């Protein structure tokens, strides 16, 4: 799921107004907030609950159930290192280690500068180009350990998302 273009300039109220007017479903509403803020701030969850007239307990239930939502701010770029069977066989573990070292974060964490969140995923359906790494919406195939630093650099330099 990419970040929908144009959303970035929207502020919380535009999103919330739309949510209320169009009676967007709860999940869709949370997706919008997640895309805009890269996490679900508490106030936003409470607002969504009020606007959609659903209990906060239910919003929190949904917000904590799906891994697409995060209660902690995620990085500007999401690095998904595939650890599926094919990638695993092709040494994805080492690739993940390299990302950890280069980014100085653990799996699931976000770099201090808020640029990258490193995640491990199980199969992104790109077994033929294993080991694969997905960064935001782009897929990188045949990733080699010695290419990891370069890849990171490219994203770090690209200011626009």
Partner 1 sequence: MSHVEWQGQAKFTIDGKEVVGYKGETILEVARREGINIPTLCYHEALEPYAVCRLCLVEVTVGKRTRLVTSCIYEVAPGIEVKTSTERVTRNRKAVLELLLARAPDAPVIRKLAAEYGIEKSRYPLIKNDNCILCGLCVRACREIVGADAIGFIDRGTERRVGPPIERQSERCIGCGTCVYICPTAAISLKDVSKSMPGVHKHPYDYEAPECSICGEMNLESESKAGER
For the bound state, the minimum distance from the C-beta of residue 68 to partner 1, rounded and expressed in Å, comes to 12
Q: Which of 151, 84, 90 is nearest to 116 (CA)?
A: 151
Q: How far out from the chain centre does Cα 114 lie?
A: 12
The residue among 34 and 111 lying less far from partner 1, judged by its C-beta, is 34
The residue among 120 and 130 lying less far from partner 1, judged by its C-beta, is 120
Q: How many CA atoms lie within 13 A of 85 on its CB side?
A: 0
For the bound state, the minimum distance from the C-beta of residue 15 to partner 1, rounded and expressed in Å, comes to 19
Which of 57-65, 86-94, 102-110, 116-124 is the region at the interface with partner 1 (rule: CB under 8 A)?
Answer: 57-65
Gap between the Cα atoms of 120 and 96, Å rounded: 8
The residue among 17 and 64 lying less far from partner 1, judged by its C-beta, is 64
Binding partner 1 by CB under 8 A: which of 19, 30, 59, 133?
59
Q: Which of 38, 122, 32 is nearest to 74 (CA)?
A: 38
The residue among 22 and 61 lying less far from partner 1, judged by its C-beta, is 61
Size of the site for partner 1 (CB under 8 A): 12
Q: Is 57 in the site for partner 1 (CB under 8 A)?
A: yes
Q: Is 129 in the site for partner 1 (CB under 8 A)?
A: no
| Residue 39 · residue 79 · CB < 8 Å | no
Gap between the Cα atoms of 90 and 137, Å rounded: 22
Gap between the Cα atoms of 117 and 48, Å rounded: 25
- Given the rule CB under 8 A, which residues bind partner 1? 42, 45-46, 55-61, 64-65
């Amino acid at each position: 799921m990419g970040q929908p273009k144009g959303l970035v300039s929207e502020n919380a109220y535009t999103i919330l107004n739309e949510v209320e007017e169009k009676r967007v479903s709860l999940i869709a509403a949370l997706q919008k907030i997640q895309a805009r803020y890269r996490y679900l701030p508490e106030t936003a969850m409470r607002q969504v609950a009020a606007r959609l007239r659903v209990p906060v307990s239910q919003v929190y239930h949904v917000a904590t159930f799906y891994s697409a939502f995060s209660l902690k701010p995620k990085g500007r770029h999401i690095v998904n290192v595939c650890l599926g069977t094919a990638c695993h066989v092709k040494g994805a573990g080492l690739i993940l280690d390299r990302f950890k070292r280069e980014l100085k974060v653990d799996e699931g964490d976000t770099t201090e500068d808020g640029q990258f969140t490193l995640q491990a995923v199980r199969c992104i359906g790109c077994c033929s180009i294993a080991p694969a790494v997905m960064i935001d919406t782009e897929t990188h195939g045949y990733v080699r350990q010695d290419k990891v630093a370069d890849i990171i650099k490219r994203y770090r330099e690209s200011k626009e998302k």
